[in-house]
A and B are shown apart, each in its own frame.
Chain A
Amino acid sequence: MKMALLDVKDLSIHFGGVKAVQNVSFSIDAGIVYAVIGPNGAGKTTLFNLITGVYKPTAGEIRLDGEAIHGKSPNELAVRGVARTFQNLQICLNMSAIENVMVGAHLRLDRNLVKAALRFPGLKKRDAELRAEAAELMRFVGLEQFIEARADSMPYGALKRLEIARALAMKPRLIFLDEPAAGLNPKETIEVDHLVRKIADSGVTVVLVEHDMKMVMNLSDRILVLDYGKKLAEGTGAEVRQNPDVIAAYLGAHA
């Protein structure tokens, strides 16, 4: 059998008494769009935090290309091509918009302090190239009008996309998008929908948390349903939609 890109086994994390994620297992093949859905507080963001190294699991295993990555720090995962955005914006408001994107390329640059302080020409040249590259990425996510903007002057919807541009600047293999369309108006939501499609088409494996069901069904190859930290179901859109547990949970949650 072909090895999955990401393999999660019996993953759990507890905060005091709160079992935010409990014994969750699933795997994601390279090149697909994988969605994680579930009501608020189901543990979706926590799952992302676990896989991207922001939280350390209480138990369980996470493997990327077969290599155990649980317990590794976020920057070690970045090296392995894992990128993400945040549900609660994590934009550096002390920097310009384009610098936020340039930071995404951190690992691909010469970070030497001495060369930087002494203004080595090679570094400056690379920085200029990077700036152009970052501007290109901002166009790709639809932020051309903000290329010269300061981050703290941008509207919410634009900042959500700025996060995506920053993540893409890493040239990741695997990208985690945590509610990229939350708080956006219908027109922006459709744009983000297209954007996710474009990202997937460019060969990046996408893991998506989203409440907009139309978008989820549209985009995803497979869906994981979480409820109270537990895996409720997993499968294609059609399979998940027909799963009685999912129907019960969703009807229960919304009744």
Chain B
Amino acid sequence: MKKSVFTGLYILIAILIVLPFVIPNAFYMDLAIRMAINAVIVLGLNLLIGFAGQISLGHAGFLGIGAYASAVLPTHFGWHPLLAMGAGAAATGLLAALVARPIFKLKGHYLAMATLGLGIIINIAIRNEAQWTGGPDGMPVPSLGLFGFDLTSDKHWYWVVALLLSISVWASLNLIDSPFGRALRALHGSEVASQVVGVDIVRYKVAIFVLSAVFASLMGSVTAHYVGFVTPNLADFFHSIELVTMVVIGGMASVYGSIVGAVLLTALPQALATFEGWETVAFGAILMLCMIFMPKGLVPTLAAKFGKGE
């Protein structure tokens, strides 16, 4: 069982190594990079939603904090981009930890409401503080210098995010199959049962919420540097929903499902662009159909069909 879990990782690494040599052009290279970035965010979010069973409808807000830290701090204050990225992540972690305690005394829909509200407030703040953030129009982001050379070419970016993705998958697999991960999954399965065996459930929920928020923030910074420009859309409610959708469509509580979800939903808007004007309808219809016919998500549904546990 343990073997088959890591087999997936080896296959992923193999694909990641081969991919740049078969990608036909810059357009697909860009798509692949954005897929990988989203996959890392979704991995973190899936730990929260799929494994621990908690909802967040505000994760784009955390992503936005990271992205704008990387845009604002170097531009207006001359910070080193890495320092800015770290500051963004730290601020996100702090904010997440601060609100998480009261939030995680809540359940289900109240939790959805609280995280949604938090995300929207962050987004509105970004839109309104135009003197720092450029407001609704967004702002450019300086390039990221790493160890003396500027990360500018897509090739370089690809290897960076591929590495990040591989490490994240490895770490997630490790985490799930550890005392910490078991406690997370147990509190999803039964809060009261996990409490009576000694799991401090609020602490675990807070920990995984903060962890996934910091993941999102860091990847927000990466996105900002990669794209070279940030807009408030990165942090809006719809983007939060997109991220949750990636988790749910790929498969809750499935590491590889997170990647599949991120890949599919990053590609979907591109694929739908041909349906001029009908993109929103098509996107909504696909969400509904997927959830109606595969409420557990793609990877778990397929895995069950072909009789193989993940």
Chain A interface (Cβ < 8 Å from any Cβ of B): 52-54, 73-75, 77-79, 82-84, 86, 90-95, 99-100, 102-104, 106-107, 109-113, 116-119, 123, 127, 150, 163, 166-167, 169-170
A77 to B, closest residue via Cβ: B196
Q: Given A78-B198, A84-B196, A170-B197, is A95 in contact with B175 using a C-beta cutoff of 8 Å? A: no
Closest residue of chain B to A82, judged by CB?
B196
Q: Which chain B residues lie closer than 8 Å to A170 at the CB level?
A: 197-198
Determine if A78 and B182 form an interchain contact, defined as CB atoms under 8 angstroms apart: no
Chain B interface category by residue count: 20 to 34
Contact of B171 among A78, A117, A167 (CB under 8 A): A117
Give A35 Cβ to nearest chain B Cβ, in Å: 20
Q: Tell me the bound Cα distance from A92 to B194 in angstroms.
A: 9
Given A109-B179, A111-B179, check contact A92 B198 (CB 8 Å).
no
Enumerate 19 A-B pairs (CB-CB under 8 Å) in ascending A order.
A54-B192, A54-B195, A75-B199, A75-B200, A78-B195, A78-B197, A91-B189, A91-B190, A94-B188, A103-B199, A104-B197, A106-B183, A111-B180, A113-B207, A113-B211, A117-B175, A117-B178, A119-B170, A123-B178
Q: In the bound complex, what is the Cα–Cα distance between A78 and B186 (angstroms)? A: 15
CB proximity of B290 to chain A, nearest CB, Å: 21
| Assembly CA distance A103 to B188 (angstroms) | 12
With a cutoff of 8 Å between Cβ atoms, the chain B residues found around residue A104 in the complex are 197
A86 touching B195 by the CB < 8 A rule? no
Residues of B within 8 A of A (CB): 170-172, 174-175, 177-183, 185-186, 188-190, 192-201, 207, 211, 253, 309
**Would A94 and B253 count as touching, CB distance under 8 A?**
yes
How many angstroms from the CA of A103 to the CA of B175 in the assembled complex? 14
Known A127-B178, A127-B179: A79·B198 in contact at CB below 8 Å: yes
Q: How far is the CA of A137 from the CA of B207 in the complex (A)?
A: 30
Q: Which residue of A lies closest to B176 (CB)?
A: A116
A21 to chain B, nearest CB (A): 18
State whether B189 touches A92 (Cβ < 8 A).
yes
Known contacts A75-B200, A116-B174, A117-B174; A90/B183 CB under 8 A: no
Instruction: Please give the distance in Å from A163's CB to the nearest CB on chain B.
Output: 8
